[in-house]
Amino acid sequence: MTTEVRTATIIGAGTIGLGWTTLFLARGLRVRVNSRRADADRVVRDGIALFAPTIPGGGADPAELVTRLEIEPDLKRALDGTDVVQENAPENLEIKRELFGRVAAAAPEHALLLSSTSSLPPEAIGADLPDPGRVLVGHPFNPAHLIPLVEVVAAEGADPALVERAADFYRWLGKTPIVPARAVPGFVANRLQSALLRESIHLVREGVVTVEQLDAVVVHSIGLRWSTVGPFQAFHLGGGQGGLRHWLNHLGAGLEQGWRGLGQPSMDEATVQKLVTQADEAFAGRTYEQLVAERDARQTAVLRALAELTPERPEQGERGRNAT
């Protein structure tokens, strides 16, 4: 099945919705943002102005983008003739399930129905549909217009061709879709993040390092490494010519022993208090806006440097002409 994607519907005008909106527009789509906020028009235009300069591939012109933008508070009208729906409602199963019941009833049959949920299983979100497998998770990372990963998660029994269409669409956007074999709580990236955070909190709780030191350790070692190669490739190369096999034979037993010594912190009041106090100290003297600007400057610099090594931008001529 081949369909051109020309029109997209974004549900919700929060941070994630605005990231998607800006990226979709920058790739040449017509975008309808469905939001009932009284100030939706201003919020969406502000979001586009904020995100457009850092759209991967050299940025985009907000004034050009908004020529293809519509704000549509009525869901049915927002879905009329749409090719893709990307939903970013609050992270609440009742809300999303009810919403997708209405979306499926009103959207064209060929439209991709995608949810940005970071935690809800697709079969639960699609429970009110005749075919619950029609709703797919398309979970981005914040900032959604910038970070390449999209976790595409399907319900058991979902049509593999549908999943492939969704992955193709995200690739066409310039994203890196990954399709896990099944949904597990937290999907993949957030589970990994949570595992690292657990040990981070343990080490601060035990007084081995401060919040500020822990962050510095990550940024100046393993973060750099993992922006370059994943953990398995890192150890595959760490094993020299013998690869991961050599590395695991050499260190596998020690690995399991090391895991037994990792922390299992409790998030009790004293722990929360310690983390918060140290965070306040670590970030004192810089406003939230300054910290965000620093982060985004670094993030953009890293992404640009990597993109220059491996150019994967969609060609202008491909805009609006992707096969899905």
Chosen residue from 9, 115, 200, 324 binding a copy of itself by CB under 8 A:
200
Do residues 177 and 183 make contact, with C-beta atoms less than 8 angstroms apart?
Answer: no
CB count within 10 Å of CB 165 equals 21
Q: Which of 240, 312, 313, 323 binds a copy of itself (CB under 8 A)?
A: 240
Query: At closest approach, how far in Å is the CB of 242 from a copy of itself?
Result: 9
Q: How far are the Cα atoms of 46, 69, 145, 191, 193 from residue 15, in angstroms, in the given order?
A: 11, 17, 10, 22, 20
Indicate the residue among 63 and 184 with the shorter CB distance to a copy of itself: 184
Residue 67 in contact with a copy of itself, rule: CB under 8 A:
no
Give just the sign of the alpha carbon dihedral 22, 23, 26, 32.
negative
Which listed residue (308, 311, 315, 317) binds a copy of itself by CB under 8 A?
Answer: 308
- Tell me the closest approach of the beta carbon of residue 264 to a copy of itself, in angstroms: 7
The one among 95, 224, 270, 323 contacting a copy of itself by CB under 8 A: 224
Q: Which is nearer to a copy of itself, 63 or 273 (CB)?
A: 273
Within residues 250-269, the interface with a copy of itself by CB under 8 A covers 252-253, 255-256, 258-259, 261-262, 264, 266-267
**Separation CA 268–CA 290 (nearest Å):** 31
> Closest separation between CB of residue 20 and a copy of itself, Å?
16
DSSP H or E segment with residue 177: strand 176-178
Locus of tokens 């457009």: 52
* Least distance in angstroms from the C-beta of 176 to a copy of itself: 4
Q: Which of 69, 211, 322, 324 binds a copy of itself (CB under 8 A)?
A: 211
Residue whose CB is less far from a copy of itself, 74 or 193 = 193
The single residue among 98, 279, 319, 320 that binds a copy of itself, judged by CB under 8 A, is 279
Does residue number 206 form part of the binding site for a copy of itself (CB under 8 A)?
A: yes
Interface with a copy of itself, residue 208, by CB under 8 A: yes
Considering the complex, state which of residue 95 and residue 184 has its C-beta at the smaller distance from a copy of itself. Answer: 184
Q: Are 260 and 106 in contact (CB under 8 A)?
A: no
Told to check if 231 binds a copy of itself by CB under 8 A, we report yes
Hey, is 232 helix, strand or coil?
helix
Q: Given the structure tokens 């690995």, which residue do they identify?
A: 255
Which two tokens mark 308?
């220059």
The whole-angstrom separation of Cα 89 and Cα 99 is: 9
Return the residue of 199, 205, 314, 320 that touches a copy of itself, per CB under 8 A. Answer: 199
Window of 26-34, 61-69, 162-170, 202-210 that interacts with a copy of itself by CB under 8 A: 202-210
323 lines the binding site for a copy of itself (CB under 8 A):
no
Residues 89-148 that bind a copy of itself (CB under 8 A): 141-142, 147-148
* Minimum distance from residue 278 beta carbon to a copy of itself (Å): 8
Mark out the alpha helices in 174-265 (DSSP H runs): 189-205, 211-217, 223-226, 231-238, 243-260
Sole binder of a copy of itself in the list 215, 314, 319, 320 (CB under 8 A): 215
Q: Which of 152, 34, 55, 39 is nearest to 99 (CA)?
A: 34
Three-state SS at 272? helix
- CA angle, corner 229, sides to 224 and 235, nearest 5? 105
209 binds a copy of itself (CB under 8 A): yes
Strand order across the beta sheet in which 84-87 lies: 69-71, 30-34, 7-11, 84-87, 112-115, 135-140, 149-153, 176-178
- Interacting residues with a copy of itself between 156 and 195 (CB under 8 A): 176, 178-182, 184-186, 188-189, 191-195
